[in-house]
């Protein structure tokens, strides 16, 4: 039955722009549609979150994070995100439409790949991750399901939605077991993930491409995790004889259990990959592994199940953690050489396919099997069970699950974590377009993940949107304006006073940047505050202190008296100086400081008799006096004949001394 006909979005125009033509696939978190951007007349994939989840801030946050993360990466090997938006209950991503399949589809149909094909896929994957690593992103969920291969042979990396979230390993579904297969040891031990965890996952993917099987096998995630922590990835040549030693070394280097030994990022691993390729000859590159010869209908190497031709067409729903991924229309491109025959691999014939045509049903073990063999099998089964139980204890019995704290305040989250017997290691703050500033948007390890009973949890608290708009605070009192800025996620900056006859004193005139301008959170915003209308300062020097104070306060100023008096020409007890000169423009309420005179200083008058006019003036002015000159008739002389006050008398500093120039 074609369920597309029942989908309410098919045939609709979403957000006034995207015409939904057909449903590609349905996942646990979203549905993917083939759509057309009517504005640009471009075919694309529309990933629409299930309406029931659109009210969950965590899921919406992940959607927006995926859009932003990929939008910052401009690389031909990354599935591009064109747009993000919402209409009513529908939150969506508009993404690049990739017609083709996933690497998982290729491995299921073809089995192991030739080294040349494996390297042809690995190199663009590393190029895409290298761009992400150098941009500061870690994918954290590299696996064949997230490697897309277009019908034209192009390779692209998808699902950057987990770039800032550690993958969940808290259940035992088969899809989870597939995810666990690519986790680096440090992700398992302490939840840390950096560029080297992506390198580890790429090494596991390379092993799987070369051998057709995952390097780790186990019935439960706990068994796989135990192998990750305690066993090295085996060389692929142990499964596919004839593979070059350079490929063994490449896998070993990328999957080293100690992250310090691995290449530090995908760019470094890409360089090693190209070096390894250059060392291989044509025969080594074109080696046909046994699983490739067996053909597309042979058993899958990891599950033992038969795969029919149905895997070649139709939509594939892929899981990542708790979410199904549905990004492509899978149809394996012709990237591998045609099959050269059907040779059944001996490992696939080990289990009988049914009873003989004309005989009784077989027993539960093969006839003629020695009793010792039965005992050996039973011992092996019991040992495996014991190991599984022991691994469960190691990986479950000593662990505590992280409580859910998303959506809570930082204080409430701390209480809940400490109530579970865990410690809060620290707080990391991150941007969120949908979650209010100060609210918890995640934790590391994540909700329900297991950590040791005395372990620590890092809280991730929202900083609010990455771009904050400056609020309108003009006309608000300064304290109110500063509070609005802090609540918006900005910091009050320098406060500068300006005269304004329109805005009341103490209220904000404007901000810099202006209201509505986008700024990063915690950026400073300068405030310009009204000082009221300007007032000109009068001259009060020479007045008594009481008179000067009354005049200045009447004009709207405050008055302060300097603690020390000074010698000045003004009469003792009067104002000698004022801090703001006559005519200066100040605001009402500004303070003017007055300095009181203690009278002039008395200075001895120098004797300048008989000196020339110029010499006399120089000596008197140096002593602090002003000089007046009088000349007797006839005006032909140049010598001082008299002075007043007389020589050696004491006179107020700054007062005048009169000198008389003698005539002939």
What's the pLDDT band for 398 if we cut at 50, 70, 90?
low
Q: How far are the Cα atoms of 537, 549, 577, 589 from residue 554, in angstroms, in the given order?
A: 11, 8, 19, 11
User: Do 104 and 126 fall into the same domain?
Assistant: yes
The model's pLDDT over 377-394, given as tens digits with 9 standing for 90+, comes to: 444 444 444 444 444 444
CA 612 from chain centre, in angstroms, equals 84
Question: Is residue 377 included in any domain, yes or no?
Answer: no
Q: What is the mean pLDDT of residues 69-94?
A: 83
CB 157 within 8 A of CB 125: yes
What is the three-state SS of 351-386?
CCCCCCCCCCCCCCCCCCCCHHHHHHHHHHHHHHHH
Question: Is residue 541 included in any domain, yes or no?
Answer: yes
User: Do 592 and 645 fall into the same domain?
Assistant: no
User: Do 21 and 131 fall into the same domain?
Assistant: no
What's the pLDDT band for 53 if we cut at 50, 70, 90?
confident
User: Do 112 and 124 fall into the same domain?
Assistant: yes
User: Do 175 and 242 fall into the same domain?
Assistant: yes
Q: What is the structure's pLDDT at 636?
A: 67
CB 115 within 8 A of CB 167: no
User: Do 67 and 133 fall into the same domain?
Assistant: no
Using CA atoms, how far apart are residues 649 and 659, in angstroms rounded to an integer? 14
CATH assignment at residue 64: 3.30.200.20
Question: Is residue 193 included in any domain, yes or no?
Answer: yes
CA 291 from chain centre, in angstroms, equals 43
The model's pLDDT over 334-362, given as tens digits with 9 standing for 90+, comes to: 343 333 222 222 222 222 333 333 433 33
Question: Is residue 298 included in any domain, yes or no?
Answer: yes
User: Do 48 and 154 fall into the same domain?
Assistant: no
User: Do 523 and 547 fall into the same domain?
Assistant: no
**Cβ partners under 8 Å of residue 576, min gap 6:** 541, 565, 566, 568, 570, 595, 596, 597
Q: What is the structure's pLDDT at 304?
A: 35
Q: What is the structure's pLDDT at 453?
A: 67
What range does the domain containing 77 cover? 1-96
CATH assignment at residue 113: 1.10.510.10
The model's pLDDT over 584-613, given as tens digits with 9 standing for 90+, comes to: 999 888 999 999 999 888 899 999 998 999
CA 591 from chain centre, in angstroms, equals 49
End-of-domain residue from the set 325, 342, 359: 342
User: Do 153 and 222 fall into the same domain?
Assistant: yes
Q: What is the structure's pLDDT at 577?
A: 94
The model's pLDDT over 477-505, given as tens digits with 9 standing for 90+, comes to: 999 999 999 998 888 988 998 999 899 99
What's the pLDDT band for 91 if we cut at 50, 70, 90?
confident
What's the pLDDT band for 190 if we cut at 50, 70, 90?
confident
Using CA atoms, how far apart are residues 633 and 630, in angstroms rounded to an integer? 10
Using CA atoms, how far apart are residues 103 and 487, in angstroms rounded to an integer? 48
What's the pLDDT band for 663 if we cut at 50, 70, 90?
low
What is the count of structural domains for the chain? 6
End-of-domain residue from the set 530, 558, 583: 530
Q: What is the mean pLDDT of residues 516-536?
A: 88
Q: What is the mean pLDDT of residues 121-134?
A: 93
Question: Is residue 355 included in any domain, yes or no?
Answer: no
Beta-carbon count within 10 A of 184 CB: 25
Q: Could you tell me what percent of the chain has a pLDDT over 90?
A: 39
Beta-carbon count within 10 A of 54 CB: 18
Question: Is residue 258 included in any domain, yes or no?
Answer: yes
CATH assignment at residue 657: 3.30.10.20
User: Do 444 and 584 fall into the same domain?
Assistant: no
Active site residues: 141
Q: 423 vs 329, which has greater pLDDT? A: 423
CA 161 from chain centre, in angstroms, equals 13
Using CA atoms, how far apart are residues 29 and 323, in angstroms rounded to an integer? 6
Question: Is residue 347 included in any domain, yes or no?
Answer: no
Name the DSSP letter for residue 544.
Answer: B
Question: Is residue 374 included in any domain, yes or no?
Answer: no
End-of-domain residue from the set 480, 514, 530: 530
User: Do 284 and 183 fall into the same domain?
Assistant: yes
The model's pLDDT over 226-254, given as tens digits with 9 standing for 90+, comes to: 776 778 899 999 999 999 999 999 999 99
**Cβ partners under 8 Å of residue 443, min gap 6:** 402, 405, 406, 413, 417, 457, 458, 459, 460
Q: How would DSSP label each residue in 113-170?
A: PPHHHHHHHHHHHHHHHHHHHHTT------SGGGEEEETTS-EEE--GGGTTSPPP--
User: Do 205 and 317 fall into the same domain?
Assistant: yes
């Amino acid at each position: 039955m074609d369920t597309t006909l029942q989908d309410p979005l098919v045939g609709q125009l979403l957000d006034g722009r995207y015409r939904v033509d057909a449903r590609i696939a349905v996942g646990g978190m979203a549905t993917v549609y083939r759509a057309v951007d009517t504005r640009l007349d471009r075919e694309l994939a529309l990933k629409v979150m299930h309406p029931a989840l659109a009210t969950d801030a965590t899921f919406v946050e992940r959607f927006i994070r995926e859009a932003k993360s990929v939008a910052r990466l401009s690389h031909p090997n990354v599935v591009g995100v064109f747009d993000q938006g919402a209409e009513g209950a529908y939150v969506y991503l508009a993404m690049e439409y990739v017609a083709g399949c996933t690497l998982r589809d290729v491995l299921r149909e073809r089995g192991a790949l030739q080294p040349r094909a494996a390297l042809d896929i690995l190199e663009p994957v590393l190029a895409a991750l290298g761009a992400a690593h150098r941009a500061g992103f870690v994918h954290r969920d590299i696996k064949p399901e997230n490697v897309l291969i277009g019908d034209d042979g192009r390779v692209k990396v998808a699902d950057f939605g987990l770039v800032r979230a550690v993958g969940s390993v808290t259940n035992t579904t088969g899809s989870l077991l597939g995810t666990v297969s690519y986790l680096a040891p440090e992700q398992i031990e302490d939840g840390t993930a950096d560029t080297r965890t992506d390198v580890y996952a790429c090494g596991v993917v390379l092993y799987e491409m070369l051998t057709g099987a995952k390097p780790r096998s186990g019935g439960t995630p706990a068994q796989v995790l135990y192998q990750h922590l305690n066993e090295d990835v085996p060389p692929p040549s142990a499964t596919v004889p004839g593979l070059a030693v350079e490929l063994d070394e490449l896998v070993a280097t990328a999957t080293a259990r100690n992250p310090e030994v691995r290449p530090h990022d995908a760019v470094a691993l890409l360089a090693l990959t190209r070096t390894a390729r250059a060392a291989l000859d044509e025969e080594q590159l074109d080696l046909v592994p046994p699983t490739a010869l067996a053909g597309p209908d042979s058993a899958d190497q990891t599950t033992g199940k038969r795969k029919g031709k149905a895997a070649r067409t139709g939509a594939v729903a892929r899981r990542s953690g708790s979410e199904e991924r549905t990004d492509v229309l899978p149809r394996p491109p012709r990237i591998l050489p045609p099959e050269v025959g059907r040779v059944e691999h001996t490992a696939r014939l080990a289990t009988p396919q049914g009873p003989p045509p004309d005989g009784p049903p077989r027993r539960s073990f093969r006839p003629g099997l020695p009793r010792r063999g039965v005992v050996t099998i039973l011992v092996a089964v019991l040992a495996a069970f014991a190991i599984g139980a022991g691994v469960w204890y190691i990986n479950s019995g000593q662990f505590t699950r992280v409580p859910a704290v998303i959506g809570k305040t930082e204080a409430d989250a701390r209480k809940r974590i400490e109530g579970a017997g865990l410690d809060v290691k620290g707080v990391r703050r991150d941007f969120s377009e949908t979650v209010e500033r100060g609210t918890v948007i995640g934790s590391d390890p994540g909700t329900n993940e297991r950590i040791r009973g005395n372990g620590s949890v890092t809280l991730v608290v929202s900083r609010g949107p990455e771009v904050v708009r400056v609020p309108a605070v003009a006309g608000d009192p300064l304290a109110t304006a500063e509070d609005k800025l802090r609540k918006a996620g900005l910091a009050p900056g320098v406060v500068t006073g300006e005269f304004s006859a329109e805005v009341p004193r103490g209220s904000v005139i404007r901000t810099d940047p202006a209201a509505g301008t986008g700024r990063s959170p915690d950026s400073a915003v300068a405030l310009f505050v009204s000082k009221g209308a300007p007032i000109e300062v009068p001259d009060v020097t020479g007045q008594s202190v009481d008179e000067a104070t009354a005049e200045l306060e009447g004009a709207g100023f405050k008055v302060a008296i300097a603690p020390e008096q000074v010698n000045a020409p003004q009469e003792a007890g009067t104002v000698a100086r004022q801090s703001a000169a006559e005519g200066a423009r100040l605001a009402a309420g500004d303070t003017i400081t007055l300095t009181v005179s203690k009278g002039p200083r008395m200075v001895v008058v120098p004797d300048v008799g008989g000196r020339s006019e110029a010499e006399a003036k120089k000596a008197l002015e140096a002593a602090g006096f002003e000089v007046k000159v009088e000349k007797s008739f006839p005006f032909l002389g140049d010598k001082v004949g008299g002075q007043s006050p007389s020589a050696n008398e004491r006179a107020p500093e700054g007062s005048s001394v009169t000198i008389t120039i003698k005539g002939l």
